[in-house]
């Protein structure tokens, strides 16, 4: 069962990817984790990626696909995997399909966790992070006992720059421009399924399980 998770930043696709991985006993794979592991282990692909990252450059699509395909060929992926955060663009999706076809594999499901932009802005702008221990809270969904103070260490809570409405809107703009076309790409491939990401986390997961099967 080879799955791609789609969804805007803050839609909750990472949370659902972890739940899918746990239920079906398949690895949850993010490109960030792949980069870190390869760089840490000093692999040839990792060293190539590092030369770009050290210069503040984007890692080229071909190299990212090589890293992903190298990862999904490992033993723990024999029963499938959940790709989270990749592909992000049509060229990446096409390159991934081509590379997988070369080893006799293909993506089975693309799941889009759909949340309207205004919900995401509201959701993200309610997040608060502790300046001391890094614990995260939410004004609405996971408030602290005392407003503005961390339950764990008693330090001040802040709204991170990443979670400010203007930053979130900018990230959503980039997402719609780059990643939204993937919705059409996987719809045309006949493997896209959309779930409502505005409902309770567990209900979102149940909707995904209904798609994937027990």
Q: Is 88 a catalytic residue?
A: yes
Rounded to the nearest angstrom, the gap between the alpha carbon of residue 115 and the centroid of all alpha carbons in its chain is 14
Q: Residue 87, preceding bond cis, omega within 30 degrees? A: yes
- Catalytic entry in 2, 19, 123, 127: 127
- Catalytic entry in 2, 13, 71, 123: 13
Q: Is 171 a catalytic residue?
A: yes
- Catalytic entry in 88, 155, 164, 169: 88
Residue 213: DSSP 8-state: -
- Catalytic entry in 36, 106, 160, 170: 160
Determine contact, residues 113/197, Cβ cutoff 8 Å. yes
SS3 160: coil
- Catalytic entry in 48, 50, 171, 193: 171
Q: Is 123 a catalytic residue?
A: no
SS3 81: strand
Q: Is 73 a catalytic residue?
A: no
CA distances from 84 to 10, 15, 63, 96, 160 (A): 13, 10, 17, 14, 23
Q: Is 13 a catalytic residue?
A: yes
Spatial separation of the C-alpha atoms in residues 126 and 105, rounded to whole Å: 41
Which residues are annotated as catalytic? 13, 88, 127, 160, 171
């Amino acid at each position: 069962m080879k799955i791609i998770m789609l969804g805007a930043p803050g839609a909750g696709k990472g949370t659902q990817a972890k739940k899918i991985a746990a239920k079906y006993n398949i690895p949850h794979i993010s490109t960030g984790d792949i980069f870190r592991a390869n760089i840490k282990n000093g692999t040839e692909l990792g060293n190539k990626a590092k030369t770009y990252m050290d210069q503040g450059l984007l890692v080229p699509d071909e190299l990212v696909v090589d890293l992903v395909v190298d990862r999904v060929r490992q033993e723990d992926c024999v029963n499938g995997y959940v790709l989270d955060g990749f592909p992000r663009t049509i060229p990446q999706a096409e390159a991934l399909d081509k590379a997988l076809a070369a080893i006799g594999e293909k993506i089975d499901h693309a799941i889009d966790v759909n949340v309207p932009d205004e919900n995401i802005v509201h959701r993200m702008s309610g997040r608060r992070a502790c300046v001391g221990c890094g614990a995260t809270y939410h004004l609405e969904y996971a408030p602290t006992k005392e407003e503005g103070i961390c339950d764990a260490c008693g330090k001040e809570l802040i709204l991170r720059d990443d979670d400010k409405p203007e930053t979130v809107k900018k990230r959503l703009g980039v997402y719609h421009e780059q990643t939204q076309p993937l919705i059409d790409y996987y719809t045309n491939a006949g493997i896209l399924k959309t779930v409502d990401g505005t409902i309770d986390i567990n209900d979102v997961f149940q909707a995904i399980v209904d798609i994937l099967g027990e």
